Structure 1
Amino acid sequence: MYKHLSREERYQIHSLLKAKQTLSEIARLLGRSRSTISRELGRGRGQRGYRAEQACAKASERAQRSRNARRVDPKLWADVDFYLGIQWSPEQIAGKVAVSHESVYLHVYANKAAGGDLHTHLRSQKPRRKRHLCGHDRRGQIPNRRPISERPSHIEDRKQVGHWEGDTVIGAAHKQAIVTLVERKSGFAVLAKVNNKSADLVGRAIEAKLKTLNSRVKTLTVDNGKEFADHQAIDQALGIQTYFADPYCSWQRGSNENFNGLLRQYIPKKRRMETVTDEELTMIENRLNHRPRKRLGFKTPHEVFHASLNRVAPRT
């Protein structure tokens, strides 16, 4: 049975670190596993390194949070389980339910230890290093493309609703695709499935989805894929301007990149797109649009987008 580190052991760790002992040697001397020592250093280390007094204080705080978590109303845990089931993060849940995100994590880990599956709903992925150096597009230029350098600078600030980003997400067979359109300020998204990535089909899907939003569409920013070659027809149909990001600069369409990562929680890369029904796509769209976002003050994309409907600024 696991036994928590004692105050004396934390002072021993501090002294052994000052004596330049390795993690393995510290673990051997204390009769603990190397992973226990490594975890303690990660939790207890401060700006000035690992100090016993500070590590003890942090351990006391964690224990108090754990006790508080056990005192939470069972009905709240039922709410937590529901939101975990629809892929909300612990931080998003804490913005909705009167419980800290640390307590949600403790709840998930306790459930996992008991054989539960709540942990499978957490979004986990390897951190991606942002690329801020752009390469050269060897696919050939799209005729009459309008580069992102010509896009008004105020769009970058995300202060105005109506500026969208577009992309396509493919499945296992690389045939059918999902067109993803994300509004930059709110993160509100609309989705459409197409049988292939031809410019004609993708263009018509974009027109159909955005035309219903009327004045809430001012600009569209896409990558240099040939599926966006009909940009002039899109501009004419919607009365907007389409801009193209620099080649291999996905960070210039950060809203789309982030949304596509969320979409992959529901539609992993190994799944064939023909198995995704229109009903399922609508369900995914609704779930993601009603999931609170930390950057929105835990409001949902749906709330932020629709709050703007009565105060839409002129096209700029």
Structure 2
Amino acid sequence: MARAQAARQVGADKRSAADWDKGITIIHRGRIYPDGRVVRYPDPILTGVKSPRTAAVLGGKVDLDRVEKVIHPRYLSLLEREQLRDLHRAGISIRKIAAELGRSPSTISRELRRNTVSERGYLPHAAHRTSVQRRLRPRTPKLVADPHLRAYVQSKLRKKWSPQQISHRLIVDFPSRSQMRVSTETIYQAIYVHARGELKRELTRQLRHGRTSRKPCRDAQARRPRFVDAITPIALRPPQVESRAVPGHWEGDLIIGATGRSAIATLVERSSRFVMLAHLGTDRSADTLRDSLITTVGALPAALRGSLTWDQGAEMAEHRAFGAATGMDVYFCEPGSPWQRGSNENTNGLLRQYFPRNSNLHIHDRNALQAVADELNDRPRKSLGWQTPTERLTALLEAS
């Protein structure tokens, strides 16, 4: 029976059923995988988010984690401030105190003048907190202060451009307007830190992964080999394919829908990152994939039908029939090596913004797939010098 049905019958939740099905053993603060890997959970996942520690200063509050952080030796440390207090109370002159601490006399004089905030005189801990509070120097974010720049960024986010694409495309679109510049990190800060309420929800939905908070990337899981027929390994692929100098060499893979019951075939041209999508529906057998790829590739000119690189998935069992029908050589990656078709892996990540995981891909017909491919082919890419795949492919065809 299906995993979900079996989980309901034994009263298990979805996560536990998936772990049992994959042979994963749950241990204290970790998991053991069938291949022997042991993954330990870090403490923050178990203890939750700690509440911030604060202290009063100048009628407000300051974060103690920021106070205790050592930024640079040029700033007075708390230990130096304690020594300064002791020497100053002993009646030692400012110049002698500076010599004792290895600091400039002006530094000591300024410290005593600016950070003495108590009627009892100079107190090192209060002075340290006051200096940290003064060091914040808050300012209005650039995207809040400039409405024209903010409108440009929001319009591109709604077109599902990444912050990096927006940042570099500004230079292309406004070469002589220095005020129309914003870094990638500034855009992320505007989304995750400064945006609030409905605006934040709207902007995070436009990002590639739709996350409401920033998270580190996890390691991709290795795939088990499933293809057993005779294949042509990627090691025999001509050097001109690796150089990306000649157009017409493609990488392909499948995007799988919910419970593995629907799929879309993706093709990416290596030189231009041009994307083509093949409709499969609920059938991703080798015969269906072969026919769909033949139909998709058949619309290409002969100059763009060079080779196809695929992983060792059983859905490509009809690779010889596909090659005979299209005149394309088919090469296969090594087992568990998705980076050998990195352009396609990256593109599949982009496509997940349109086709989320655990969604039914059968509802997208050929017209919908073509619309997604057109939108993706009109996005500027860093690897193309901020040209779009359509622009790069056109230039390569004209040059050849």
Scaled to the shorter chain, the TM-score interval is 0.7 to 0.9
1:119 to 201, 204, 216: 204
Which residue, out of 285, 290, 311, partners 1:203?
290
Identity of aligned residues (%): 34
- Do the aligned partners of residues 270 and 140 (structure 1) sit closer, same or farther apart at CA in structure 2, a change above 3 Å counting? closer
- Unaligned 5+ runs, structure 2: 1-49, 76-130, 171-179, 210-214
Q: 2:312 aligned to 207, 224, 249, which one?
A: 224
Amino acid at match of 1:129: D
Alpha carbons 2:143, 2:150 under 8 Å: kept: no
| Structure number with bigger Rg | 2
What's the counterpart of residue 238 of structure 2?
Answer: 152
Question: How many residues are paired up?
Answer: 270
Q: Secondary structure at the match of 1:141?
A: coil
Match of 2:92 in 1: none
Distance in 1 (CA, whole Å) between partners of 2:137 and 2:271 is 36
- 2:112 corresponds in structure 1 to none
C-alpha distance in structure 1 between counterparts of 2:325 and 2:336, whole Å: 28
The 1:51/1:226 distance shift into structure 2, 3 A limit, reads same
Give matches, 1:15-164, under 5 Å. Answer: 27=53, 32-33=62-63, 37=66, 50-51=71-72, 66=140, 68-72=142-146, 74-97=147-170, 98-101=180-183, 102-109=185-192, 112-116=195-199, 117-124=202-209, 126-129=216-219, 137=225, 139-142=226-229, 144-164=230-250
Cα distance in 1 between the residues matched to 2:73 and 2:206: 36
- Cα distance, 1:205–1:52 mapped onto 2, change above 3 Å: farther
Unaligned runs of 5+ residues in structure 1 are 1-23, 42-48
- Counterpart of 1:238 (choices 316, 321, 326) is 326
Helix, strand or coil at the partner of 2:169? coil
Q: Is residue 264 of structure 1 aligned with residue 352 of structure 2? A: yes
Helix, strand or coil: the match of 2:356? Answer: coil
Decide whether aligned partners of structure 1 residues 227 and 67 sit closer, same or farther in structure 2, where only a CA change above 3 A counts.
Answer: closer
Q: What is the CA distance between 1:232 and its match in structure 2?
A: 1.2
Question: What TM-score does the superposition give when structure 1 sets the normalisation length?
Answer: 0.74
The residue matched to 1:268 in structure 2 has which SS? coil
Q: More displaced, 154-163 or 296-305?
A: 154-163
Contact map agreement 1:176 1:193 (CA 8 A) in 2: no
Q: Which residue of 2 aligns with 1:255?
A: 343
Counterpart of 1:280 (choices 352, 368, 373) is: 368
Higher relative contact order (CA 8 A, sep 6+): 1
TM-score, normalised by the number of residues in structure 2: 0.60
Do 2:252 and 2:267's aligned partners in 1 also have CA atoms closer than 8 Å? yes
**C-alpha distance in structure 2 between counterparts of 1:255 and 1:174, whole Å:** 23
Q: 2:227, 2:312 within 8 Å by CA — same for their partners in 1?
A: no
Q: CA deviation at 1:266?
A: 1.2
In structure 2, give the amino acid aligned to 1:180.
T
CA distance in 1, matches of 2:363, 2:66: 47
